[in-house]
Amino acid sequence: MSKNIPISSLSFLILCLLMPFAMMAQQNGIIKGRITTSDKKPAGYVSVALVGAKSGAITNEGGEYQINKVKPGSYILKVTAVGLQSQEKSVVVNAGETVTADFELTENLGQLKEVIISGARNKYKVDKPSSSLRLDQPLLEIPQNIQIITSTALADQQALTLSDGVLRNVSGATRLEHWGEIYTRVNMRGTRASAFRNGFNVTSDWGPVNEDMSFVDHIEFVKGPSGFLMSNGEPAGIYNVVTKKPTGRDFGGEASVTFGSYDLYRGSLDLDGKLVKSGKLLYRLNMMAQNKKSFRDYEFNDRYIVAPVLSYKISDKTTVTAEYTYQHVKMSDLGSAYVFATDGYAILPREFTISEPDLKPTKVNDHSAFLNFQHRFNDKWKLTAQGAYFFNKQLSSDIWPANVLPNGDIIRTLYNFDAILDYRFGQVFVNGDVRTGAVRHRILGGIDLGKKQGWFDWSQALALDSEQQPFNIYNPVYGSPANGIPSFNRSIDIKDRAASITDQAYTGLYLQDELGFLENKVRLTLAGRYTFLKQESTAAGETTTLKDNKFTPRVGLSVSVDNQTSAYALYDQTFLPQDGKLESGKAPDPVTGNNIEFGLKRDWFDGKWSSNLSVYRILKKNQLSASPNSTPANPVSLQLGESRAQGIEFDVRGEIVKGLNVVANYALTDYEITKSVEEYGAEIPAGTKIAGYAKHNINTWLTYKLQSGVLKGSGVSAGFTYQTDRSSWTWASSGQKDLPSYFRLDGGLFWEKDKIKVTGNVFNILDKYLYSGAAYGTYYYWQAEAPRNFRLSVSYRF
């Protein structure tokens, strides 16, 4: 008897399995409609709910909503948004029928946007990602763990840059190195997360420059497989910084000043409005200036920012937006935060430094420009085309020891650390939402183009100290190094003297169809991406070339258990080119991998807060890990054979009860080599843990605002970060220690009335000696965080 099942029998079996679901769908009804403003514009992101029931929906950009699986009966349909006068309609739903209920709000589009923005000021949760993530649908329906940090959370926590406590808002995200707050290395799921801005991959070996939070609207963390979504993203995840755009209001903005410990003085201005009364030409302008010193001598970080944005509405369907951001940074030597010793971590005072008072400052000029074109053909199809240009020039130095002796003697070497980054990107993609019979199709297709060039020069190295007159960490003397303060020869352009050059060009073609069955309760995602890559790396006068093409599929399944709960599964493959150099001098091969993720998402109490539970496994080949033999003058990596990252992540965010907003998360991460690999004569056996993560990572941040009484508008904030089984970003040598557990407690008070808000926070309340670092050959290095310190901000909205 044949074991093969005939096609007709298989079809009958599937039909029998789907029949109960189809019958249930026919027994229920659907309510749908469109909400517009008084000027006949679509009202997006407005809440629609059935009074007394758990069902509801949020309108899309076209003002449309749909509530599925409504039991037959009579209902009151209510439209609400913070700051709006609610509207209600009576509807009767019959079995198997669709009821249409449209609304027209009394507000115009500009007023609607203003009240939505105002209402969002106290929220830690959003329901939909930015258009730069390309997925034009609610987070609840996307088969992937995506966490979004709102501008309100950033303001409440008084975050200044990405390295300034931002990562506490996302499960499993850790900061390994911060290079004086000019760069931040973010690791998730065991390896480095790729850095994006407005949908463009700006990751480099050293960079990008930390975005100042003054011009940041929100930050999107895409956990796990992201290569399809965002060009060449790391399989561990990416973070996408979304900058502020015009909102369409007549005129508004915010001015704020911040004071803090270590002579922190900072002022910012955010202007938002119309350049013409018709609203066709909008603007947004953000400016910031800062002076900031440190708890360590000779260390400072001064910067100023200018970020103008113009948006021109060609028609009701077409908009062009142009933006430019200039970040200027003047700061101390990039290595001034590092401390070195042979006996272990944190054996010297937190304020200790190996820097010198007369070292020339680091100067960075960072430019970025974006042009975005959006055209909506109709309520079903939308086209987006955008381009970006990044140019970064850095003149700096990095202090690092030539050796570290047990008696504390070191010879400090000063390297020049100059760089130019020149990145150009283009993207065109289309979003569609159509039906074929009972099946809904959310279609995404497009092309990515990128060219990333980098010139890095650290070829000049001059010793500050001598063997006869070394610098001693236990008895430091500043101001008179044996060889004086060196001066580097910068008469030749960086591009002509670069010690390392990278030149990467890629083209990616992708297509995705999300098929929605049973009134979109079951969503099957089928997608594929084809990437063409050419990469040249030049070091020590030798150039290596890599050319490769790769097709990577993507399959996802998302099922709505009810209107506020979904379960998902995702399979994705990765193809990621890598910068850097191996000890052999060769360029590293691209990362390839298979990624599997399962999750459960839920919105609670009509979407006021959400939870996300995910379980993942990532198998990778050719993953890079920092080599113990790496130095600033010769940064080299190890290339692993096969590795596996797996873990569990849980996130909660939003308003739990009236006035109480919460961000809480936990991550369990495990990352190890699964196949032995031979590197430079030494075997790294299977089962070896790969450095670069904390096995257990817990974060919380809570704010509570009094809703009534004499102290109405006052509130309290508090949060902590706790990490255990913490490893550095390189392997320790035999007998060397790993990093200890980490616990940091922050908190403060705030008061808000009308347009004024005063926020004060104390950081590291317990005054613990906190640090990151690594075991490095025969010694240790670490970077200490600030002792207990405070910030006070006063802001005025207008």
| pLDDT higher than threshold 50 for residue 480 | yes
Residue identified by tokens 């910012």 is 268
8 A C-beta contact, residue 717 and residue 697: no
Q: What is the pLDDT of residue 181?
A: 77
DSSP classification of residue 13: H
Distance in angstroms (rounded) separating the CA atoms of residues 708 and 491:
66
The residue among 235, 239, 233, 144 whose CA lies nearest residue 185 is 239
Class of domain 131-243: mainly beta
Long-range contacts for 744-748 (Cβ within 8 Å, ≥24 apart)? 744/720, 744/768, 744/770, 744/785, 745/718, 745/719, 745/720, 746/157, 746/165, 746/718, 746/719, 746/720, 747/716, 747/717, 747/718, 747/719, 748/716, 748/717, 748/718
Residue 731 has pLDDT above 60, yes or no: no
Look at 114-128, 702-716, 739-753 and tell me which has the smallest mean pLDDT: 114-128
The conformation of residue 207, written as its DSSP 8-state character, comes to B
Query: Per CATH, is 251-797 categorized as 3.40.1360.10?
Result: no
List the structure tokens of 614.
């995910």
In whole angstroms, give the CA distance from residue 748 to residue 760. Answer: 5
Beta-carbon contacts of 9 under 8 Å, excluding residues fewer than 6 positions away, are: none
Helix (H, G, I), strand (E, B) or coil at 274: strand
Separation between Cα atoms, residue 72 and residue 76, nearest integer Å: 13
Q: According to the per-residue pLDDT averaged within each range, which of 39-53, 90-104, 178-192, 729-743 is highest?
A: 90-104
Q: Any idea what the Cα angle at residue 669 is, between residues 667 and 671, rounded to 5°? A: 165
Q: What is the pLDDT of residue 393?
A: 96
Q: Which two tokens stand for residue 106?
A: 């009394």
Phi, psi of 12, rounded to the nearest 5 degrees: -65, -40
| Continuous segment of H or E residues that includes residue 240 | strand 237-243
Residue 118 has pLDDT above 70, yes or no: no
Q: pLDDT tens, 278-306?
A: 889 999 999 999 999 999 999 999 999 99
* Per-residue tokens: 349: 């005072």
Q: Of all residues in the chain, what percent carry a pLDDT higher than 70?
A: 86
- Per-residue pLDDT at 735: 66
Rounded CA-CA distance 791/552 in Å is 47
The pLDDT, as a whole number, for residue 235 is: 77
Q: Tell me the two tokens of residue 230.
A: 């965002």
d(C-alpha 432, C-alpha 135), whole Å: 10
Topology of 29-105 in CATH? Immunoglobulin-like (2.60.40)
Residue type, 358: D
- The gap between the terminal CA atoms of the chain, to the nearest Å, is 80
Average of pLDDT values for 374-378?
A: 93
The pLDDT of residue 21 is above 50:
no
pLDDT greater at residue 587 or residue 779: 779
Is residue 5 predicted with pLDDT exceeding 90?
no
Task: Name the 3-class secondary structure at 71.
Answer: coil
| Residue 509 confidence (pLDDT) above 70 | yes
Q: Decide: residue 753, CB within 10 A, 0-12 exposed, 13-18 middle, 19+ buried.
A: exposed
What pLDDT score does 358 carry? 92
Q: What is the rounded distance in angstroms from the CA atom of residue 236 to the CA atom of residue 256? A: 36
Burial class (CB in 10 A: 0-12, 13-18, 19+), 343: exposed
Q: Angle 372-378-379 (CA atoms, 0-180°, nearest 5)?
A: 100
The pLDDT value recorded for residue 88 is 86
Q: State how far the alpha carbon of 630 is from the alpha carbons of 81, 395, 638, in Å.
A: 55, 22, 10
Beta bridge partners of 241: 197, 219
DSSP letters along 346-388, please?
S-S-TT-----TTPPPEEEEEEEEEEEEEEE-SSSEEEEEEEE
Amino acid letter, residue 533: L
| pLDDT of 796 strictly over 90 | yes
Are the beta carbons of 643 and 654 closer than 8 angstroms? no
**Residue that the structure tokens 């589009």 belong to:** 109
Q: What is the pLDDT of residues 755-765, one digit of tens each?
A: 999 999 999 99
- Per-residue pLDDT, 732: 55
> What burial letters (b/e) apply to 186-219, b meaning 16+ CB within 10 Å?
bbbbbbbbbbbbbbbbbbbbbbbbbbbbbbbbbb
- Work out the average pLDDT over 191-212: 86
DSSP 143-172: SS-EEEE-HHHHHHTT--STTTTGGGGSTT
pLDDT on residue 296: 96
Domain boundaries, the chain: 29-105, 131-243, 251-797
Q: What is the per-residue DSSP string for 609-661? A: EEEEEEEEEEEEES-EEE-TT-BTTB--EEE-SEEEEEEEEEEEEEEEETTEE
Burial class (CB in 10 A: 0-12, 13-18, 19+), 399: buried
pLDDT higher than threshold 60 for residue 737: yes
pLDDT single digits (tens) 215-237 = 999 999 998 766 566 656 667 88
User: From CA 99, how far away is CA 547, in angstroms rounded?
Assistant: 56
C-alpha span between 273 and 282 (Å, rounded): 6
How many residues does this entry show for the chain?
798
Taking each continuous run of H as one helix and of E as one strand, the counts in the chain are 4, 49
Three-state secondary structure readout of 83-132: CCCCEEEEEEECCCCEEECCEECCCCHHHHHHHHHHHHHHCCCCCCCCHH
pLDDT at 172: 93
* Alpha carbons 304 and 302: distance in angstroms, whole number: 7
User: 552, 228 in Cβ contact below 8 A?
Assistant: yes
